A and B are shown apart, each in its own frame.
Chain A
Amino acid sequence: MEPKKCSNDKATQEMLKHAYEAGVETAWDRFAQQEPQCGFGKLGICCRNCSMGPCRIDPFGDGPQAGICGATADTIAARNLVRMVAGGAAAHSDHGRDIAHTFKMAVESEQCDYMIKDELKLREVAARYGIKVEGRETKEIAGDLADAVLAEFGKQEGTLISAAAYPPPARQKVWKKLGVTPRSIDREIVEIMHRTHIGVGSDYKNLVKQGLRACLADGWGGSLIATELSDILFGGPQPIQFGSNLGVLDAKQVNIIVHGHEPTLSDIIVAVSQEPELVKMAKDKGAEGINLAGMCCTATEILMRHGIPVAGNFLQQELAIMTGVVDLMAVDVQCIMPALGSLCGCFHTKLITTSPKCKIAGAEHIEFHEDRAVETARQIIKIAIENFANRKGKVQIPKVTERGIAGFTTENIFYHLGGRFRASYRPLNDNIINGRIRGAAGVVGCNNPKQVHDYGHITMIKELIKNDVLVVSTGCSAIAAAKEGLMRPEAAAKYCGQGLAEVCETVGIPPVLHVGSCVDNSRILTTLANVVAEGGLGEDISDLPVAGAAPEWMSEKAVSIGMYFVASGVYTVVAEPLPILGAPNLTRYITDEIEKDVGGKWAFERDPIKAAGMMLEHIEKKRDALGINVEKERKLYDMEDRRTLSVE
């Protein structure tokens, strides 16, 4: 297999070459072994939800057109699709729940390794949840917030508080009219499992409707809770420099990679990893120090807050082990390849699983308990130090690194556009209205060996910024952009159209803003709500000249994310089509008719340039509708005009 056909990333190419030479198997090899992949699965028309089946629909129309129970292609594909939403929403929301439990523990326990680091945000979030903040102690407010947030997961009456507190009023009306306002986080997921059980719902639109409700409970619920509480507990990120790619590993130091999605353990590992005692221990073992790096979204959580380098994105996790210098990889949950277990058997790397939800054959399990966080973190670091001496074989670190700026949030955008005294989204809205920025795009999502690794992300992003579209990014997409240097502020002059370059130069930002991990896609939602609230760009998110994309998506979480963007009014383009193409009515609904219901819709396009073109077209369509594509004369103000201007 030709490395350049597998990945766009130089470090990855180098490591793949090395892997082939060494006969080490990677995801790309296993992908090849899987081909040809099952056509029924790809088209979404295979059902094994009961033991009368498995049933499958003949996509050519010659064979069976219904399962044993009578489920059609549309029914089967819709059930499968919303079950993917359930999987994704469950992953994000369970992550949110764990953070909420940690938060509650931090509030209630006197001796705890966690504490409230962002009081301002605590008060802001609590106020949104309807909790009285004026004149109250932090602890009291936090206690109420913890209870309110935890109640959101399982409450039996009403709708999510956050679904009324964060989105623009016009958006809430859309949901109410359609009947998809989420009621509680767990309930919507459970109801998907119920509705897709044998003999329940078969109407594809009604099934999708529940998918919409569940994904909204993720984006504006579980994910949002994860983001908000993580900021309160670990500190709201601020713009910060970070390094990326496998070159951040250092042969002379003890290398520890934290991988997965949650910040609870990793943040503590960051805090203790440079303790003098541990550093001395490492030095005693012949290392120069302790080098911490991340992988996937766990990396993102600690790079957003501490500037800890990221060694790579999803498809690089095996390659990191192959460098021969990773003394320990600690994993929590999500996107951790089971292949790591056997791979670590071939190298000296210790693979440590830490979550009771995620045990991997071949890994050592050190269960992480929030009430003993520091102790566990130290224990893990010590294992890594001990393991330094066990290094064997050739060291193969690609000398490829890039640096960038991360740490942008819904909240700090205010500051960075106006300073402490004039904090505002106004400059953003203004420059969208005047056309310097045509619009904004969220480019997010995973890696997928079906696409050339990173190529989709980078090509699409470059095309967008060249056309003056500001890009925000999360997760593995953000890591791809960072590795390409697109998160350097210098990239603005190099890659952007003139208008976007001017704005980036004015604010001092890169053209691609790193807003965090995959639960932090909720930051994109809340940012869009703020843009609407700032005014001048319509009343609803669906009025905004924005689009979303996941050019290399693969996980169920990505389906939930894509769906909640669509349900929030955002046009969303993904490369690999959703597994529904065998269901013509469902496909037509998801990619077209749904726009009438929620203002957003899905589109599938594998070519990232074409996909970017579709996004640009959509953005211009929205600009036209807003009437901001008409060249306006500069308004000059006389005293009468000025008296009408607000000074609030």
Chain B
Amino acid sequence: MSKIIASAAIRGAHKIVKQAEEILSRAIEEKGKDCPVAFPNTGYYIPIIYSMTARAVEKLSDFEDVMREEIKPLLPKLVEDELWTPYLGPTLDAGMATLFAEEIIEACKYIIGPNPVDGIWLGAADDMILRERGIQFVDGTAPGFAAIAGAAPDVETAVEIARKLQERCLYVFMSAHRNGTTFAEQLAEGGVQLGWETRLVPFGREITSAIYALGFASRAALSFGGVKAGDFRRNLLYNKNRIFAFVMALGEVTDEWYATAAGAINYGFPTIADSDIPEILPTGVCTYEHVVSNIPHDQIVEKAIEVRGLKIKVAHVDIPVAHSPAFEGERIRKDEMHCEFGGQRTPAFEWLRMLDIGKVEDGKITVEGPDADSLEAGGKMPLAILVEVAGRKMQPDFEPVLERQVHTFMNEAQGLWHMGQRDISWVRISKDAFGAGFRLEHIGKLLHAMYHEQFSSIMDKVQIKIFTDEKQVLKLQEQARQVYAERDARLAGMTDEDIDTFYSCTLCQSFAPNHVCVVSPERPGLCGAYSWLDCRAAYEITPSGPNQPISKGKCIEPTIGQWDKVNAFVIKASGGGVERMSQYSMITDPMTSCGCFECIAAVLPSTGGIMIVNREFIEMTPCGMKFSTLAGTVGGGSQTPGFIGHSKHYINSKKFIAAENGIKRIVWMPTMLKEEIKDNFVKGADELGLGGQEFLDKIADETTANTEEEVLEFITKANHPVTTLEPMF
């Protein structure tokens, strides 16, 4: 720590702590000591304080304890002008005290204002965003984030910096102002779309809002890293070694900024500044340098990535617009659009098929019919995207898996928007992209490049044919629809008994070391993202990767679904943590969960049934816990009889907790989940003779029951079939 920086950071910490004391006493004065305090919809309380100290702050008076017992003891004396004692440790402590104090400030703002959520400012991210976005830090699609403080010297520079960060797949978390403006406001002025979808997240105008970024990081460690609250060391090292974030300080660095940056250094997040401040080059707390300064704006993104020690593979896609996962969530509104395809306005579909290797000419891209420049702004036309691939390892079963990538690949192009799949797809090209020269052949170019980039191990050749002539499109669409139907039939008919190989998924083991997903045709991965076919394709693509074939071996017990070789595999892959695992039971040796599950099923003992809650449902559930709290119980790779994490799709599988009588056990689900799975659920219930929609109506939801007693009352009245079953235990 440079002495100048240490002195400023410790001064800043004192100022922020004083500010926190003031707002806290004001809040207590106005609302009383017992006034509840929380960030919206999170199970992680006030997250930095919670993750570092295990203190669950629930009311204002808890903040007084935090102030007295945590912050004050951490706050060091100011650095002396001469004959100073070592300041690195004290400065890092001051940084953490600052973050705690800033959480108090922001949390109090939620109570007495000004509300942190205001205009473009988003304030705290709730747990749904955390799960949805945090997973990207787990699977590597987002290598980290840039916490930007301040503002660029002008709008153009801000837009340029943001675009470069997006191209490198990084999230951009924005806080603090400079010269009366902020980076986020500059982007808005530059017409850039802000929000979690575009990875450009404006937290707040003040530096104190930087805690939303660091709180997000802390929660990611708790949620995906299996780190326990209070295990500060592991939380911070997890961030240092997994989430590659850094602070980008744009503009004059104040004492308060220094203090906050010192807090970030605890996480291993270095600061890269555009101004001429002292540097801290020796390494140790961060991976490389701690503070690097005076970096010109046109080099600052590259420098930041180098300082953080980040390797980002950016596929070179030869199209006139940028291409990166960060643009995936970008929307194109009607008035920003040059033209569109599909979306029930014109026929449009995409279809990927494998051909004999001799029939595919790699890199060949054809466009038949008029191009986008034949349309006036706001126009529309039909679109068929036919991807033809060949490769020695390619199999017909991979077709749907690979076809679904069209959505992602196209969305990742800046100014190109894609929704849906198959024959319900909907594509827009923005005016900006069109202006930059984007035409239909570029769709072909980007698909060709991305298929090679990501699937080169299974496909050797890729050609893309694009059609816009309506007659041609409609004719091809008929063919495609036949194929879609055949595929559906094949998948729907596939049972666990049909095949002798399951697949493992240990993608999340770097976060939940004991966890192993065993994916079978009738039990997809609990995250909902990996079906058996996906795993098989993933294995072919990366034979040494996290999806490994598991030969089932001898069946030990068919009802609960245990096989000797599956158990042997699980013992090994869980490092001895899990000895036996049932594919179809939530009571006997249930499958473990990492933390990425779409739903949680939990026994409601007095009802003899189970409730299922999906991640999107943030209210209280009849078991007395919200999803986020339940997730803490279920996740982390341990077996918890009576609880499982699973995908939505699994509910409609015939093997859904087959050992415990399947869907007959379901006594409660949120309405939104009911609605989402309705079609197949009703069909399944019919087949079981439970009476389709009638059975669904016998299942309680948040409109009819909010406690276990109310559920029992409801199902008794409704004559739910669970009442006729043997008890689960």
Chain A positions near chain B (C-beta within 8 angstroms): 239-241, 403-405, 415-424, 426-431, 434, 436, 488-490, 502-503, 505-509, 634-639, 641-643, 645-648
Asked if A508 and B88 make an inter-chain contact with CB atoms under 8 angstroms apart, the answer reads yes
Asked, given contacts A418-B285, A637-B310, A639-B143, whether A648 binds B92 with beta carbons under 8 Å apart, the answer is no
Asked if A635 and B309 make an inter-chain contact with CB atoms under 8 angstroms apart, the answer reads yes
B309-346: CB near A (< 8 Å → 1, else 0) gives 11111000000000000000000000000000000000
B85 at the interface (CB under 8 A from A): yes
Chain B residue, CB-CB nearest to A508: B87
Asked if A637 and B309 make an inter-chain contact with CB atoms under 8 angstroms apart, the answer reads yes
Asked, given contacts A416-B88, A419-B266, A647-B234, whether A503 binds B83 with beta carbons under 8 Å apart, the answer is no
Asked if A416 and B241 make an inter-chain contact with CB atoms under 8 angstroms apart, the answer reads no
Asked if B237 and A636 make an inter-chain contact with CB atoms under 8 angstroms apart, the answer reads no
Asked if B283 and A434 make an inter-chain contact with CB atoms under 8 angstroms apart, the answer reads yes
Asked if B89 and A646 make an inter-chain contact with CB atoms under 8 angstroms apart, the answer reads no
B contact residues around A638 at 8 Å (CB):
140, 143, 311-313
Asked if A506 and B311 make an inter-chain contact with CB atoms under 8 angstroms apart, the answer reads no
B contact residues around A436 at 8 Å (CB):
282
Asked if A508 and B309 make an inter-chain contact with CB atoms under 8 angstroms apart, the answer reads no
Q: Once the chains are docked, how many angstroms separate the CA of A403 from the CA of B83?
A: 8
Chain B residue, CB-CB nearest to A418: B285
Q: Which of B89, B266, B290 is close to A415, meaning CB atoms less than 8 Å apart?
A: B89
Nearest-Cβ distance from residue B508 to partner chain A, whole angstroms: 11
Asked, given contacts A405-B83, A639-B143, A647-B238, whether A421 binds B52 with beta carbons under 8 Å apart, the answer is yes
Asked if B309 and A421 make an inter-chain contact with CB atoms under 8 angstroms apart, the answer reads no
A contact residues around B282 at 8 Å (CB):
427, 430-431, 434, 436, 502-503, 506
Asked if B89 and A420 make an inter-chain contact with CB atoms under 8 angstroms apart, the answer reads yes
Q: Which of B88, B90, B237 is close to A648, meaning CB atoms less than 8 Å apart?
A: B237
Asked, given contacts A422-B233, A508-B87, whether A637 binds B6 with beta carbons under 8 Å apart, the answer is no
Asked, given contacts A421-B52, A636-B309, A641-B311, whether A239 binds B88 with beta carbons under 8 Å apart, the answer is no
24 contacts between A and B (CB under 8 A): A239-B85, A239-B86, A417-B88, A417-B89, A418-B88, A418-B92, A419-B93, A424-B284, A426-B284, A426-B285, A427-B285, A429-B284, A430-B282, A489-B83, A505-B2, A506-B1, A507-B86, A508-B3, A508-B6, A509-B86, A637-B287, A641-B311, A645-B242, A647-B241
Asked if B96 and A421 make an inter-chain contact with CB atoms under 8 angstroms apart, the answer reads yes
In addition to A420-B92, A420-B96, A426-B285, 13 A-B residue pairs with Cβ atoms within 8 Å of each other are A239-B86, A241-B83, A419-B90, A422-B236, A427-B282, A431-B284, A434-B282, A489-B83, A506-B1, A507-B87, A634-B306, A636-B310, A638-B313
CB under 8 Å from chain A, chain B span 271-297 = 280-285, 287-288, 290
Q: Once the chains are docked, how many angstroms separate the CA of A643 from the CA of B511?
A: 9
Q: Which of B84, B96, B237 is close to A647, meaning CB atoms less than 8 Å apart?
A: B237
Q: Once the chains are docked, how many angstroms separate the CA of A639 from the CA of B305?
A: 14
Asked if B233 and A508 make an inter-chain contact with CB atoms under 8 angstroms apart, the answer reads no
How many interface residues does B have (CB within 8 Å)?
A: 54
Chain B residue, CB-CB nearest to A641: B311
Asked, given contacts A420-B74, A502-B282, A642-B244, whether A508 binds B93 with beta carbons under 8 Å apart, the answer is no
B193 at the interface (CB under 8 A from A): no
B260 at the interface (CB under 8 A from A): no
B171 at the interface (CB under 8 A from A): no
B225 at the interface (CB under 8 A from A): yes
Chain B residue, CB-CB nearest to A502: B282
| Pairs A-B, 10 closest by C-beta atoms | A427-B284, A419-B92, A639-B140, A636-B311, A508-B87, A645-B241, A239-B85, A638-B311, A643-B510, A508-B86
Q: Once the chains are docked, how many angstroms separate the CA of A426 from the CA of B280?
A: 16
Asked if A405 and B92 make an inter-chain contact with CB atoms under 8 angstroms apart, the answer reads no
B contact residues around A430 at 8 Å (CB):
282-284
Q: Once the chains are docked, how many angstroms separate the CA of A419 from the CA of B232?
A: 12
A contact residues around B3 at 8 Å (CB):
505, 508
Q: Which of B84, B95, B312 has the most CB of A within 10 A?
A: B84
Q: Once the chains are docked, how many angstroms separate the CA of A436 from the CA of B290?
A: 15
B91 at the interface (CB under 8 A from A): yes
Nearest-Cβ distance from residue A326 to partner chain B, whole angstroms: 26
Asked if B244 and A637 make an inter-chain contact with CB atoms under 8 angstroms apart, the answer reads yes
Q: Which of A420, A423, A488, A634 has the most CB of B within 10 A?
A: A420
Asked if B236 and A421 make an inter-chain contact with CB atoms under 8 angstroms apart, the answer reads yes
A contact residues around B238 at 8 Å (CB):
647
B79 at the interface (CB under 8 A from A): yes
Chain A residue, CB-CB nearest to B266: A421
Asked, given contacts A430-B284, A635-B309, A641-B311, whether A240 binds B85 with beta carbons under 8 Å apart, the answer is yes
Chain B positions near chain A (C-beta within 8 angstroms): 1-3, 6, 52, 74, 79, 82-93, 95-96, 139-140, 143, 225, 227, 232-234, 236-238, 240-242, 244, 266, 280-285, 287-288, 290, 305-306, 309-313, 510
Q: Once the chains are docked, how many angstroms separate the CA of A646 from the CA of B306?
A: 21
Asked, given contacts A635-B309, A647-B234, whether A405 binds B2 with beta carbons under 8 Å apart, the answer is no
Chain B residue, CB-CB nearest to A640: B140
A contact residues around B236 at 8 Å (CB):
421-422
A contact residues around B87 at 8 Å (CB):
507-508
Nearest-Cβ distance from residue A494 to partner chain B, whole angstroms: 13
Asked if B84 and A508 make an inter-chain contact with CB atoms under 8 angstroms apart, the answer reads yes
Nearest-Cβ distance from residue B545 to partner chain A, whole angstroms: 10
Nearest-Cβ distance from residue B31 to partner chain A, whole angstroms: 31
B contact residues around A428 at 8 Å (CB):
284
Q: Once the chains are docked, how many angstroms separate the CA of A636 from the CA of B306?
A: 7
Nearest-Cβ distance from residue B106 to partner chain A, whole angstroms: 20
Q: Once the chains are docked, how many angstroms separate the CA of A420 from the CA of B510?
A: 26
Q: Once the chains are docked, how many angstroms separate the CA of A420 from the CA of B79?
A: 18
B contact residues around A505 at 8 Å (CB):
1-3
Asked if A419 and B88 make an inter-chain contact with CB atoms under 8 angstroms apart, the answer reads yes
Chain A residue, CB-CB nearest to B545: A640
Nearest-Cβ distance from residue B267 to partner chain A, whole angstroms: 9
Asked, given contacts A508-B6, A634-B309, whether A405 binds B233 with beta carbons under 8 Å apart, the answer is no
Asked if A419 and B91 make an inter-chain contact with CB atoms under 8 angstroms apart, the answer reads yes
Chain A residue, CB-CB nearest to B140: A639
B contact residues around A422 at 8 Å (CB):
92, 233, 236-237, 266, 285
B contact residues around A642 at 8 Å (CB):
241-242, 244, 510
Asked if A421 and B93 make an inter-chain contact with CB atoms under 8 angstroms apart, the answer reads yes
Q: Which of A405, A415, A502, A634 is close to B281, meaning CB atoms less than 8 Å apart?
A: A502
A contact residues around B86 at 8 Å (CB):
239, 405, 416, 489, 507-509
Nearest-Cβ distance from residue A234 to partner chain B, whole angstroms: 19
Nearest-Cβ distance from residue B675 to partner chain A, whole angstroms: 36
Q: Once the chains are docked, how many angstroms separate the CA of A280 from the CA of B95?
A: 45
Q: Once the chains are docked, how many angstroms separate the CA of A646 from the CA of B140?
A: 17
Nearest-Cβ distance from residue A153 to partner chain B, whole angstroms: 36
Q: Once the chains are docked, how many angstroms separate the CA of A26 from the CA of B671?
A: 96
B contact residues around A405 at 8 Å (CB):
83-86
Nearest-Cβ distance from residue A636 to partner chain B, whole angstroms: 4
B contact residues around A503 at 8 Å (CB):
282
A contact residues around B284 at 8 Å (CB):
417-418, 424, 426-431
Q: Once the chains are docked, how many angstroms separate the CA of A364 from the CA of B93?
A: 51
Q: Once the chains are docked, how many angstroms separate the CA of A420 from the CA of B74?
A: 8
A contact residues around B312 at 8 Å (CB):
638
Q: Once the chains are docked, how many angstroms separate the CA of A434 from the CA of B283?
A: 9
A contact residues around B84 at 8 Å (CB):
405, 489, 508
Nearest-Cβ distance from residue B90 to partner chain A, whole angstroms: 7
Asked if A507 and B1 make an inter-chain contact with CB atoms under 8 angstroms apart, the answer reads yes
Asked if A634 and B83 make an inter-chain contact with CB atoms under 8 angstroms apart, the answer reads no
Asked if B85 and A427 make an inter-chain contact with CB atoms under 8 angstroms apart, the answer reads no
Asked if A508 and B266 make an inter-chain contact with CB atoms under 8 angstroms apart, the answer reads no
Nearest-Cβ distance from residue A168 to partner chain B, whole angstroms: 21
Q: Which of A419, A488, A648 has the most CB of B within 10 A?
A: A419
Q: Once the chains are docked, how many angstroms separate the CA of A157 from the CA of B518?
A: 55
Asked if A648 and B96 make an inter-chain contact with CB atoms under 8 angstroms apart, the answer reads no
Asked, given contacts A488-B83, A647-B241, whether A637 binds B88 with beta carbons under 8 Å apart, the answer is no
Chain B residue, CB-CB nearest to A405: B85
Chain B residue, CB-CB nearest to A487: B83
Asked if A506 and B74 make an inter-chain contact with CB atoms under 8 angstroms apart, the answer reads no
Chain B residue, CB-CB nearest to A239: B85
